Structure 1
Amino acid sequence: MAFEDVKAEIGLLLTRMQNEPEDRHELYLQLSEKLNELKAYGMPIPQDLQDLEDALAEEFTEEAGDPA
Structure 2
Amino acid sequence: MFDRLEAELSLLLTQMENQPEDRHEMYLSLREKLNEMRAFGMPVPDDILELERALEAEFLETKM
Q: TM-score w.r.t. structure 2 length?
A: 0.98
The residue correspondences of 1:1-68 to structure 2 (distance < 5 A) are 2-65=1-64
Superposed CA RMSD in Å reads 0.4
Larger Rg computed on CA atoms: 1
- Contiguous gaps of at least 5 residues in structure 1: none
- 1-side partners of 2:29 and 2:10: how far apart? 12
C-alpha deviations, 1:16-51, integer Å up to 9, x for none? 001100000000000000000000000011000010
Equivalent residues, number: 64
SS at match of 2:42: coil
Q: Which runs of 4+ in 1 moved over 6 A?
A: none
- 1-side partners of 2:58 and 2:31: how far apart? 14
- Contiguous gaps of at least 5 residues in structure 2: none
Q: TM-score w.r.t. structure 1 length?
A: 0.93
Q: What amino acid maps onto 1:39 in structure 2?
A: R
